[in-house]
Structures are given as C-alpha cells and as structure tokens.
Amino acid sequence: MQTERRVKTLRTRSSVLKLIGMVVIAVVAAPITCSQQLASKAQLAAQVRSEFLHAWHGYKQYAWGHDDLKPLSKSYHDWYAEPLLMTPVDALDTMILMGLNDEARSTREYIVKNLSFNKDFDVQNFEITIRLLGGLLSSYQMTGDKRLLNLAEDLGNRLLPVFASPTGLPYRYVNLKTGKVRGNVTNPAEAGTLLIEFGTLSKLTHRPIFYEKAKRALVEIYNRRSPIGLVGTWINVETGKWTDTDSHISGAIDSYYEYLLKCAILFDDQDCRRMWTDSIAAINQYLRDETKGRMKPELWYGHADMNTGQRTATNYGALDAFFPAVLALSGDLNRASLLQESSYKMWMKYGIEPEEINYQSMEVTAPGYPLRPEIVESTYYLYHYAVLGARTSRPHASKRLDPKHYQQMAEMMFRDFVKYCRADAGYAALKSVVTKEQADSMQSFLFAETFKYFYLLFAPPRTLDFDKVIFNTEAHPVSSTW
Ligand code: DMJ
C-alpha cells in the first residue's frame, strides 16, 4: 500500500514535469495523490481535535496528575521523584486554541492548585524551560491568569543558578529546592534554547535578569564558533572548550539556531539578528548538501567537522525536519520548500518518518518514531507563507508555493499518524517505522506540538495570528504584547 502510494506520487510528479517542463519549484506545487477523497479543512480540524481528545482522555484516565501516559501498559511515567505535570502544562495552550474551553478551565485550575516547584530533586534545565516555563507563559498570555505568571516566575527564579558557571554557559541540571547544579558538559541546543522563555519572563515581570542570563548563554555559544563559523555538539561550561566538534542542524544543536532567528524577531534584538545572519551563511556553506534524487536534485543538510568543514556524515532525521520552518521564517522560501520535499520523501519511505536516515542511501539508521512534530511544524510554516503569497504581494511570501500542496501533505501525514500511532488508550510512539511496532511512550510534546501544528494547518485562520506570535521550540506561542 505504502509502495503503491509512493509510486503513484512519483508517477504523478514525473508526468507533471514532462507535461509542463517546469523548474524545480513547480514540483513543490505538484499535487500529492491520495486514494482517499480529500476531506474539507473543517472536517480535518474536527478530526484532529477529536484525536487530541482521545489522547487526552487516555492521559486523564490512566495517568492523571503524572507527567506522561504510558499508552500500552495504561500506566504513567514521571520524569523525577514527583510529577511536575508535564502533560497538562504542555497541553493547556493547545486546548485553548482548539476552543476546548471547559477542559482548559479545569486543567488550568488543576495546574494552579497542584503544581509546585519547591522540590528537592534535580531537573534538566532545557526540558523544564521549553515545556513548563514556555507552557506557563504562553497560557498566561492567552488567559491573563496571573497565577500562571506567578508559577512561571517562581520556576524562573529556581532555574537561575544554572548560569553561575565561569563562562556563563548553563549547567544542565539544577536542584529546584537547593539550587545545586551539576552537568558541566552541555550542547548548543540546551545552552541556547532559553531566551524566548527567560526573555518573555523578563518582559512580563520587569526583571531584566532572566533576559540577560539567557542571552549571555546564547552569545557564549556563538563566541565559541570555529573560524569557519560552525558550532560543535558538546561543550564544557567551565572551560568553554568543545568536547565534540561534530557540526549539524540536528538534535543537540537544532534549536540554538532556531532561537537566534526567533529572538531577533520577538525581541527585535540586533545581536541575535547578526548572530543568525553569520550562522546561516556558515550552515549553507558547509552543512548544505545536494543529492541527485531520481528526478531532480534534492536538498539536505548533513554533518561536518566544525573546524575543517569536511563532511563527516550524511544523516538527516525527524529532528532536522524543523529546519524548513526556520528557513521559511527567515525569508528563504526556496530552500525551505526544497528541504521540506526531502523531509517528506523521508516520511513517505515507510509511510511515517524514522528518527534518522542516511540521505545518500535512504537507509534508515535509527528506526523509531517518538511522535515528533517537526515535519508538521515545517508544513504549517510553508502553508502559511503559501497562503500569504496567494493573497498578497508581500515580499516574505511566495506566489510560487501552492497552499493546497501543503494542506494535502499535512492530510496525508495526519492519516498515516493516526493509522500507525493510535492506541486504545491514546497515542503510542513507534519502536520501528519499518515494522510499525508500537512503544509504551507518549511524550507531552504530542499535545504541545504535534496536535497543535496539525490543528493549525486545518483550523480557520482566525484561530491564531501567525505573524503576531513566535512559537518557542515546544510550540508554545508567545507574543510581544507584554
Ligand atoms: C521537543 O521537546 C522540542 O521540539 C525540542 O526542540 C526537540 N524535541 C522535542 C520534539 O521532537
């Protein structure tokens, strides 16, 4: 079935090319064939909402008050000695956007009454920042409920000790009660994916300290870039020395780049703008790659040594699939749309994307699918700019992108996602996209990101004004109307 569908898609694309002999960008606009009748946007939005509720009800029935649902054993998983309500906090703003008002109200009350950060255990600063701090701030901005901001400020205060290293780069873990830190080897993503959340907290509380500390961490990573402008994967926060010089856009580096651009926009921060401009030039020079593909050249981003720029690996995966969104937000719609086609090719190989492939051979190098959102996120960005291009003559939009193409891509992915990941009690990760065997895990980003981006692709435009918000890396939208 998957093979048939792939062949059909390729055949359609090939005939489109033969028929009209158009250039590469036209391929982007070629229709995706789908055996099923394309559903209306409204129907699809309703389906996404109802699948969100299916997963949410599973969480409520079997894991309420805990961090995550284990969907196959119908039990729960807590990250630390006591729960920090990862799933409710991550899910709240999505519920609000979906208009699930009663559910959102009772979840908000539950969070306010039960979430406490006065806990004597170590937490991972990056994960807690993007999921909890980001979630609380976004839901505060949507509801005006000051209690959420109070929780966010309390959390921000407890996380601040991470920055007390000799370099200003954050330690990875902090005890929420004692402020004791540990973990002196970190990566650009963990050190550099804090400024949207800490900066927003500063703006909302009028306490600059959060902005200053998180921005310094971002700058300290940038300052340690190699002479050719690349960063590595692991760095010691006490010595400032790289311990792994592998450079790429994948996990452990990914959202460092995302935040350079997004903080330039959200805070109108010209330092971030300059750091982004320098970084993207180096990325495009040393990490960008092209393969022949069957019918046309394909765009990928691979790995290189940060000092020499030599290609070290031709791997790309589900996490890298965030990059078309960032390219699109930066205005590079050409590369964004080409890379999205590559991500989609990766998805189509098994009807759902693996964690990683080798893009030269298209062999799977890591077969799992933990319900990741990045490819959906990029589809949403491209859809947005395609719609904008169809309606306006703004330079940051493109008349060459077809909104229907991205809508159909999203519909296809949503159907695959439901088909393989739906379980009795919620949604389950896949151990392998080849065998489709499910795993007993449902991470909270399913609610914060995967369902949110699917929903926004099909929901009425008034649901969220894309141009008035910046999504943090966990898809919590924040706006600069402090
Ligand atoms: C999320 O927690 C965030 O999107 C992060 O930046 C990367 N990993 C997951 C989703 O895949």
What residue's CA is closest to ligand 1, atom 10? 372
The protein residue whose alpha carbon is closest to atom 11 in ligand 1 is 372
pLDDT, tens digit, 9 for 90 and up, residues 21-38: 233 333 344 445 444 546
Catalytic residue among 289, 355, 377, 416: 355
Atom 3 of ligand 1: nearest residue by CA position = 474
Q: What percent of the chain has pLDDT over 90?
A: 88
Mutational pocket test of ligand 1: of 131, 133, 255, 430, the residue with most ligand atoms within 8 Å of the beta carbon: 255
Three-state secondary structure of the chain: CHHHHHHHHHHHHHHHHHHHCCCHHHHHCCCCCCCCCCCCHHHHHHHHHHHHHHHHHHHHHHHCCCCEEECCCCEEECCCCCCCCHHHHHHHHHHHHCCCHHHHHHHHHHHHHHCCCCCCCEEEHHHHHHHHHHHHHHHHHHHCCHHHHHHHHHHHHHHHHHHCCCCCCCCCEEECCCCCEECCEECHHHHHCCHHHHHHHHHHHCCCHHHHHHHHHHHHHHHCCCCCCCCCCEEECCCCCEEECEECCCCCCHHHHHHHHHHHHHCCCHHHHHHHHHHHHHHHHHHEEEECCCCCCEEEECEEECCCCCEEECEEECCHHHHHHHHHHHCCHHHHHHHHHHHHHHHHHHCCCCCEEECCCCEEEECCECCCCHHHHHHHHHHHHHHHHHHCCCCCCCCCCCHHHHHHHHHHHHHHHHHHHEECCEECCECCCCCCCECCCECCHHHHHHHHHHHHHHCCHHHCCHHHCEECCCCCEECCCC
| Domain boundaries for CATH 1.50.10.10 within the chain | 40-85+315-482, 117-285
Please say if 127 is a catalytic residue.
Answer: yes
Tell me, in angstroms, the distance from the centre of ligand 1 to residue 370's CA: 10
Atom number in ligand 1 closest to CA 319: 11
Render pLDDT for 406-423 as a digit per residue (tens, 0 to 9): 999 999 999 999 999 999
Instruction: Band the pLDDT of 77: cuts 50, 70, 90.
Output: very high
> So what's the architecture of 40-85+315-482 in CATH?
Alpha/alpha barrel (1.50)
**Known active-site residue 82:** no
353 is catalytic: no
pLDDT per residue as tens digits for the range 125-142: 999 999 999 999 999 999
Residue 81 has pLDDT above 60, yes or no: yes
For residue 428, the CA-to-ligand 1 centroid distance in Å is 16
Report pLDDT for 22: 31
Is the shortest distance between the CB of 474 and ligand 1 below 6 Å? yes
> 398 vs 257, which has greater pLDDT?
257
From the CA of 467, how far away is ligand 1's center (Å)? 22
- pLDDT value at residue 56: 99
pLDDT digits (tens, 9 = 90+) for 191-225: 999 999 999 999 999 999 999 999 999 999 999 99
Distance from Cα 472 to the centre of ligand 1, integer Å: 10
* Residue bearing the bigger pLDDT, 33 or 189: 189
Task: Report the top-level CATH class of 117-285.
Answer: mainly alpha
Identify whether 374 is a catalytic site residue: yes
In the prediction, which pLDDT does 294 show?
A: 80
Cβ of 473 below 6 Å from ligand 1? yes
- Mean local confidence (pLDDT), 40-68: 98
| Residue of 68, 90, 254, 298 marked active site | 254
From the candidates 197, 246, 374, 411, give the one annotated as an active-site residue: 374
> What is the number of the ligand 1 atom nearest to the C-alpha of 370?
11
